[in-house]
Amino acid sequence: MSVIWAIIRKDFQMEFRTKDSVTAMWIFSLLIFVIFNFTFEVSRLLMLQISPGLLWVAFIFSGMLGLNRSFQVEKENGNLRSLALTPADPGLIYFGKFFSTTLFTLIFEALIFPLFIIFYDIHLSLLTLWIIPIAILGTIGFTSLGTILSAVAIHTKQQQILLSLLLWPMITPIIIWSVKTTGDVLAGDLSTAFQPVIIRMIVFDVIFTTISYLLFEYVVQE
Amino acid sequence: MTKKNSSLSFYIMAGLLLVLVPISLYLVFNWVPPIKASNPTEQTAQRIFYYHVASAWNGFFAFFVVFLASIMYLWKKERKWENIAVASAEVGTLFMTIVLITGPIWAKPTWGIWWTWDARLTSSLVLWLIYVAYLFLRRYLPDGTRRANLSAVVGIIGFVDVPLVWYSIRWWETQHPSAVLAGGKKGSLAPEMLFTLLFCVGVFTILYFLLMQRRIEIAKLEDSINKQYKEWETLS
Amino acid sequence: MIEQVPAVITAEKLRKEFGRVVALRGVSFQVPASTFFTIFGRNGAGKSTLLSIISGMAAASSGVIRVFGEDPAARTQRHRLSVISHESFLYDNLTALENLEFYGKLYSVQDLKERTHHVLRQVGLHHRRFDLVRTFSRGMLQRLTIARAILHNPDLFLLDEPFTGLDQHATEMLIGLLETLKAQGKTILLTTHDLHIGLRLSDQYMILERQQVVETGSASGLTEDALREKYFSLISSGEAGQ
């Protein structure tokens, strides 16, 4: 456990030191909303329909930036190798990186969400709180795969493009489910499909965190 | 496997295909009765279905082989398993490409559009993307155990993702009104159609194994040539 | 005699091959405790592969490797060894102290606080402990790299071409630090293609050429010219360099 905490602590110490990039990411998602507003000139009603997708596009884009940064620091001075050389279990190193990117992405999403509410005139109700577990489940699905695939991509020179190539098709299921459930919540009306989909999201998260935990050892081997 | 054995299996499979491929063409274009459709173009276009499904089946099967070979590689750490995994990924991507080309060819005369975000077509596209990414990863890394490890990891994760992708997209389709198209649903197959389909699947499966065998042979040859070159370099 | 000292590293007929790549062809050697052992060889001679196997990051195809009497792949002796390469293994956006605290936790170092302060004083960086690593000069970076490597008080140091990219000043500094470690009785395994530095530090040496051991011997009494002559006669049978 101390290994996981040490990695989370270390990542956050570094994040808070480079606050400018947090601001840059926030501005970036602001830009996504602005650009989308002009690329899709649609009625208010239609906007309401596509807004859940929009929110997740903003989440995923900033999550990608977060993943790239989180692993850039492990690449710079050969740090991933040095982590693998410690007595720490590689699986725990995976969890450390996974939790820190997940937490960071979630904090970031919490900063984006108010922007989204303002720009797309989202009606808030008690039901809107459901967005929290949905964001957590969706983000875990994304970062569980993103963490191990980043560690894979880090070994190549085309790290960023390769991460996108690997990650995007694989997260299709969790994106579909996240957007759908977010849509239900924003519409203020949970469909009958809502609960089973939440369960599917949990299953997805459990499957990929477990597999990644088991396989991470092979990613750091030489 | 000795050289003699491998070339024997090649001749057997190649010989079988030489006979079976023309038969399958005959079955598809002459023997099997046309479907009931409003226009003749649609009737003809439907015949692509046999090769389309046979390719899809082999695509899935190939990715399953990638998955198994990747697990075996991580367990045994033998070059053999890496060669099998990558051969199957390449051949599987080829079959999936055929699926993605024949799909729209059939869709245009039948539905009037090249592409629809139909569950089968979309899942095939996503799977194709996963294995293309796998091949890209290999392209970006130098030969060695690291590349073998990393591609095995992606080969395993990618295949675990396959049923989830398939399932989620199918579910998404039912939630998505515009994707429901008339005429897209097939009824039960006539016996002749079923026979032709199974026949084509069989022929394509032999083709899969033939391509695999060739691809693995090439990998082995490459390894042995390079090794001999190195040995020669050491002696000189 | 050397034979009486228990060997820290024992390698027997190590072979590493994968497909077309043959990285080691039956390498055998022993590194006794408290010895400075240098492996000379050109790029591609198999030095890095050998270090990967000793550190437990890669597995040999065949042969036996024992570090402190155990298989390094089992990771049981990890806390007793330290790898130093030309990469610093440090985080630029952490302070010197934070870097050490982080690695200390991964190595489960006892009394971490005291230990970090102790090693920082040892390398003369205590006054800069709250400064970010990215503000450090090359020399300070080098010292902090050493501080990180000695933090968990390992018995064995594996040095993977540590002089790559260092200027004269930093090289001298690193040599000084290595001499200190040597004086403390640590076992040190250095891989390098620099005959001058290697000979200056070593007790014993080995020459790897084309993935094989071509020469082993004691470094004492050996002049640089004699080593140079030997080295080039052994590797010059083919085209030099790669």
Q: Which residues of B touch A221 (CB under 8 A)?
A: 145-146, 149
Query: In chain B, what residues touch A184 (CB-CB under 8 Å)?
Result: none
Take residue B189 and report the two structure tokens written for it: 């197959």
A159 vs A74: CA distance, rounded Å: 12
Q: In what order do the strands lie in the sheet with C156-160?
A: C81-85, C156-160, C187-192, C36-41, C204-209, C212-218
pLDDT at B185 > cutoff 50: no
Q: Please, which residues have CB within 8 angstroms of residue C121's CB and are 6 or more apart in sequence?
A: none
Please tell me if residue C234 touches chain B, with a CB cutoff of 8 Å. Answer: no
Share of chain C above pLDDT 90, in %: 59
User: Bigger pLDDT: C132 or C223?
Assistant: C132
Lowest mean per-residue pLDDT among B229-233, C102-106, C206-210: B229-233
Instruction: Give the closest-approach CA distance of B160 to chain A in angstroms.
Output: 9
Q: How many helices (H) and strands (E) does chain A have?
A: 9, 0
Cα–Cα nearest to B188, from B178, B197, B180: B197
Whether the per-residue pLDDT at A190 is higher than 50: the answer is: yes
* Residue, of A162 and B175, whose pLDDT is higher: A162
Question: How far, in Å, CA of C239 to CA of C242, rounded?
Answer: 8
Is residue C4 pLDDT above 70, yes or no?
A: no
- Per-residue tokens: A142: 């994304």
What's residue B182's pLDDT? 43
Nearest residue, CB atoms, B233 vs list C18, C20, C238: C238
**Domain that includes residue A116, residue range:** 2-220
Strand order across the C62-67 sheet: C21-32, C7-18, C62-67
Our count of domains for chain A comes to 1
Chain B hits for A165, CB-CB cut-off 8 Å, are 129, 132-133, 136-137
- Write out chain C residues lying below 8 Å of A83, CB-based: 106
- Name the residue type at position B122: T
**B3 falls in which pLDDT band (50, 70, 90)?**
low
Cβ neighbour number for residue B139 with a 10 Å cutoff: 11
- What tokens were used for C57? 């990051």
Residue B164 is predicted with a pLDDT of 93
Answer for the pair C104, C154: CB distance below 8 angstroms, yes or no. no
Interface probe with B: pick from C20, C48, C235, most Cβ of B within 10 Å? C20
* Each residue's pLDDT tens digit, A62-100: 889 889 888 989 998 999 999 999 999 999 999 999 999
Q: Is residue C1 classed exposed, middle or buried when 0-12, 13-18 and 19+ CB atoms within 10 A define those classes?
A: exposed
Interface check for C19 against chain B (CB to CB < 8 A): the answer is yes
Put simply, the answer to whether A168 touches B129 (Cβ < 8 Å) is yes
Helix (H, G, I), strand (E, B) or coil at C213: strand
CB A53, CB A33: distance < 8 Å? no
Structural domain boundaries in chain C: 2-87+155-235
CATH architecture of C2-87+155-235: 3-Layer(aba) Sandwich (3.40)
Q: Which of residues 125-164 of C touch A (CB under 8 A)?
A: 132
Which stretch, A194-203, B42-51, B166-175, has highest mean pLDDT?
A194-203
Task: Determine the pLDDT at residue A25.
Answer: 79
Kindly indicate the confidence band of residue B184, based on its pLDDT and cuts at 50, 70 and 90. Answer: very low
Give the DSSP H/E element, type plus range, for residue C66.
strand C62-67
**Burial state string for C12-24 with b = 16 or more CB within 10 A and e = fewer than 16:** eebebbbbbbbbb
* C3 compared with A163, residue with greater pLDDT: A163
The reported pLDDT for the residue numbered B189 is 72
Which range is least confidently modeled, A43-47, A129-133, C95-99, C217-221? A43-47
> Is the pLDDT at C19 greater than 60, yes or no?
yes
Q: Does C83 touch chain A (CB under 8 A)?
A: yes
pLDDT (0 to 100) of residue B116: 81
- The pLDDT assigned to B178 comes to 46
Cβ of B144 and C22 within 8 Å?
no
Q: How far apart are the C-alpha atoms of B109 and B97, rounded to whole Å?
A: 20
Closest CA to A71 of C83, B155, C91: C91
**pLDDT tens digit sequence for C26-82:** 999 999 999 999 999 988 888 999 999 999 999 999 999 999 999 998 888 999 999
Tokens of C54: 């000793």
> Do the strands C156-160 and C21-32 form a parallel or antiparallel pair, or are they unpaired?
unpaired
Q: What is the ipTM of this complex?
A: 0.92
DSSP state of B184: -
Substitution target in A4, A15, A86, A216 with the highest count of C β-carbons within 10 Å is A86
The number of angstroms, rounded, from the C-alpha of B8 to the middle of its chain's C-alpha atoms is: 24
- Is the pLDDT confidence value at B159 over 50? yes
Residue C82 phi, psi (nearest 5): -140, 135
> Which residues from chain A sit within 8 angstroms of residue C52, using beta carbons?
222
Average of per-residue pLDDT across B87-102: 95
Are C220 and C70 contacting, i.e. CB atoms less than 8 angstroms apart? no
Assess whether pLDDT exceeds 60 at residue C237: no
